[in-house]
Structure 1
Amino acid sequence: MLLKTILLPLGFVLSTAVSAFAGEGTIDTGDTAWVTMSTALVMMMTPAGLAMFYGGMSRYKNLLNTIAMTLVAYCLASIVWVAWGYSLAFGETSNLFIGNLNHLFLNGIDIHSVSGTIPTLLFVLFQMTFACICIAIILGSVVDRIKFSSWIVFAVLWVTFVYAPVCNWAWGGGWMHKIGALDFAGGNVVHINAGISGLVLALYLGKRHGYGKEPMIPSSVAFTALGAGLLWFGWFGFNAGSALAANGIAASAFLVTNTAAAMGGLSWLSVEWKHSKKPTLLGLASGAIAGLVGITPAAGFVSLSGALAIGALSGIIGFFGVAVLKRKMGYDDSLDAFGIHGLCGIWGALATGLFANPSVTEGAAGLVYGNPKQVWIQFLSIIGTITFSALATLIVIFITSLLTNGLRVDREDELAGLDNALHGERAFEIE
């Protein structure tokens, strides 16, 4: 049985094509080629870009463990998605909170199924890469101290019971879709969802031994910078690919994505330079990622001026979250998943309500273009995501803890380093 096409409200149908379901249609080879390339770009972001970005920021004794948990998250989410995650997120139903199980193991979807102008199987794959990177982002809050076995169980449960519902709300015809919330490529679905969940998991696990008392030096800032470059490259597929077509909206999303990333890097660098008197490579790379996070929900809706504003403030907000808020509040968000993805994702979702430009996507207008109501709608979507992500993640944590006899590694293993203690390997051989 083919899925029916579900369109978003008339005013912004084209710009939010990412939420289209499978249905009757004609495959366009240009659109298919572009989305195929975009899928490959987003796939690269997790086991290559994020693995290097996070691995470089982790301590040397945990570098390999960080990369391993990023890679296993990609593997797990890939299987969960094609088995039941896609059906829960995009299965057609009148339910505004979750899909159905009609497409378990992609039942009813074959090479003849079409979503808009691309094969449904390609749409499934493109959406799968979003689920994969979303669970991997959470890892940044808890590296150095979560058991590998617990991470595996948590990842499976979280993609099923946290990611899939929020994806359905925004892109699968759920309540966010119904109220007209704008989320082009994952402000709520990916970044707020992962950032809040990471913070909850970090608070539950507690601080790393020695946190705040001894230096926790990144193993390789060079790795992190290279990872940031790969993420930036892959983000063009993430955002521009979310048009699900090779069209003007995809081109605009490509442009504003690069612009916001550049502005984010420069604004973070400027604030850091003034604050600490040193312009660091880590800060520049983090700022670029902050800008990319901020522009994600807005990519298909804003013009160049909006991208400049979103990127500039994303860098400042990210720096504040990492250098000020975390220290004042005292929580241990290891690699700043909440500080960058959570906070900048919130800003980006709100900024979409401010800067959405109807000249980019007809009918999608924000406060600056005469539609103050959109800010309120964006606010409601943010509150809904934060509340659900926090509570649902807490439940997943409790279930995982019961199934794996606690989430945290032994003190001895944590102090010795997880690369050798858990994997019996080292990232580099040192003579």
Structure 2
Amino acid sequence: MNDAGTPRHPEQSDPRCQSAEPADTGRSGATPIVSGDGTRVLTAGGMPGGQGTPLVPSPVFASTYVLHGEPAGPYQYGRLTNPTWTAWEAALADLEGGPAIAFASGIAAVTAVLATTLRPGDTMLMASDCYYATRRLAEEFLSDFGVVTRWAPTGPEMAAQVAGARLVWIESPSNPGLDVCDIAELARRCRDEGALLAVDNTTATPLGQQPLLLGADFSVASDTKAMTGHSDIVLGHVACRTGELAERIRGWRNSTGAIPGPFETWLAHRSLATLDLRLARQADNARELAAMLAAHPAVRRVRYPWLPSDPAYPLAVRQMRRPGGLVSFELAGAAEAEAFLGALRLVTVATSFGGVHSTAERRARWGGDDVPPGFIRFSCGCEDAADLLADVEQALARLR
């Protein structure tokens, strides 16, 4: 590639841009053994190499590299490629089921899909309850460039409005409402109408749901959340159904410079090994919390797609591979919600979600989500369930 990011070689010569194949996670001559999620996250991107190579991926920091004569090889300029990105993206591709491109943040990944897919005069159908920063891009940036956005709530209503759209954007489960959309059905409708489907998969992660295998063209995520899970990294990624789509996304990153830091990328890859364990503990805590909240007199409404009484339950258990760690619930009003949050001792009041520490916040304080004033988004961490429930119970008791 030259400094502007233009490929020197055809797409098929770049293995990073080809559709992902199942990784050979066995030793040479051995039968690969990859079945459970715990094994998948440990072996994603390939098993350790031969004699003298590291057991785990190690960071290669930013460099402009030394080049003599005509540039050759995959690593030429630090804004375009980096071995640490390659290793992380290979792991993501294994989990997502398609080529993946890492970005400096989740919203940078979102922007890459929107900017490479839509042109002036195009129409996009977007979930009206998806992440507020994504909606803001549509309402402000894309509108200024002549892109028309139609809105529909997450759910079956979206399929009826696909006609005429170039891109359909959903988030399932949605953040913070935790509604669920039938991705496979919507993907079929998009194919019939010639539209592309992008799924924000942040809340589910590739272990909870694989949008590409359900028919989506893009799987987008903020890896700041559960994917890395320690509340200390800002990253994002896009996984694509085809190498052609991946090449567009990678070209956008090269041209705009929305690149992840090699050290952050290495930390993300290092965190991946515990993803299965973290998600399992968070889901166990969330199930117990949701059941307790549903029976509490101070709580008006609980949303958790894996609670049998939740309206999204039938679709969630059919479509998704495992439960999540997010629970949403409603208290009487803003004063009650703030009193509840102020009484918490173990749970931290903070935005974002998916970390090993439980956090909660009153989402209406930001003004970007159409939620009641007493709406709480609760992200379950990896604490002991008894301690977590005791903290929530004592905080709710202050309201009586």
Output the TM-score relative to the length of structure 2. 0.27
Q: Which has the larger radius of gyration?
A: 2
Which one has the bigger helix percentage? 1
Q: Given the two structures, how large is their TM-score scaled by the length of structure 1?
A: 0.26
Relative contact order, higher structure (CA 8 A, sep 6+) = 1
Q: Larger strand proportion, structure 1 or 2?
A: 2
